[in-house]
Amino acid sequence: MSLRTNIKNTIADYKRFRKDQRKFSNDSVRYYNFWSLPNSDASWFTQFIKHRNINPNGKKITFLSVVGNPKLSFFIESPKIFFTGENIDNEEHPSFIFKKYHLKNHDLSLGFSYLNDEKYLRFPLWILYMIPANAGFEDIKNLIKSYNNPEHRLNKNRNNFCSNISRADNNGIRKTIIDLLNPVETVKCAGSFLKNTNDLQEKFGDNKIEYLKTFKFNICPENSDTNGYVTEKLFEAIISGTIPIYWGSENKPDPMIINHDAVLFFDPENPQLLFDKVNLLWNDEKAYEEFCRIKPFKENAAEVIWEWLNSLESKIKSTL
């Protein structure tokens, strides 16, 4: 891209920003470059800030993400907070361009990486899917306890074999796992990728969690393999009580939170290991019940998550 084109695009993005800025002029928390522009009153971060009374004076706080021009942050006054739901360490992903800006251009950066920087906090996307913004410590403990209850997995309506819900397969991992397991029983693909069922839309109204509650297994790999990059996919499987079939984060996702003995990992170097385990659990009811009694969350998971939330509160306050 030429310098002239780059400048032209940046100016166009700035004009759109000014238009949006007028739209959100009365909001104390605003959002730009997000994958979809959230209703600021309904977004997780807005609720979190209001619930904890982090910003009692109503100072303007701006959250920016990775859908748009990274130079937009130059036009925005502090405090400004960067948050990514994408793997900006992946050189093949369009969001990689944000890697060189997210610390330099913002007062606080939130992401997946294990970085050691006073302006950074590891705050992975899955927290927004699993933990309510207004949750107290006891709420989190009760959530973890409910997901660790063996009966959560051992419900009588869980009669279907295995599901995959995805839009694409950029690295071929999802198709490889699906092809591997189809000889055991046909994998139901409810997303646009390899779609072979309409049940998610027609019977469950696009409610992914309720749909997954009818399956014993869920294929939920990440779209890239980077240490620390763990999205909502693994956690949605656990929340729904299905057994996750996972690949990503170097097959050691959030080790302080997840009990890896409760997850089935795909190893491209040894796919037979996954096939044999799934085949056993599908055909041997006793083996399946024993596996389902393994708690998916570590005993101190609630304490770790609570500390994360407290650290986020402290970091946001420091930007003000």
104 with 180, same domain: the answer is: no
pLDDT of 203 above 60: yes
Q: How far apart are CA 208 and CA 200, in angstroms?
A: 7
Q: Please give the average per-residue pLDDT across 259-267, as a whole number.
A: 98
105 with 141, same domain: the answer is: no
Q: How far apart are CA 278 and CA 213, in angstroms?
A: 17
170 with 112, same domain: the answer is: no
186 with 105, same domain: the answer is: no
pLDDT of amino acid 26: 52
List pLDDT tens digits, range 227-257.
999 999 999 999 999 999 999 999 999 999 9
pLDDT of amino acid 201: 96
**Domain stops at, among 74, 101, 123:** 123
pLDDT of amino acid 16: 58
Quickly list H helices, the chain: 3-23, 44-51, 126-130, 137-148, 150-153, 173-181, 199-202, 208-212, 232-240, 271-283, 285-292, 301-319
Cis amide leading into 150 (omega within 30): no
pLDDT of amino acid 309: 98
With H, G, I as helix, E, B as strand and everything else as coil, classify residue 227.
coil
Inside any domain, residue 7:
yes
pLDDT of amino acid 275: 98
pLDDT of 3 above 50: no
Q: How far apart are CA 66 and CA 5, in angstroms?
A: 20
269 with 141, same domain: the answer is: yes
pLDDT of 17 above 70: no
All residues at 6 or more sequence positions from 90 whose CB lies less than 8 Å from its CB, including other chains: 96, 224, 226, 229
- Domain of 255 in residue numbering reads as 137-292
Number of domains in the chain: 2
User: Do residues 241 and 262 lie in contact, with contact meaning Cβ atoms separated by under 8 Å?
Assistant: no
95 with 143, same domain: the answer is: no
Whole-model pTM: value is: 0.89
100 with 145, same domain: the answer is: no
Inside any domain, residue 243:
yes
List pLDDT tens digits, range 273-282.
999 999 999 9
pLDDT of amino acid 225: 94
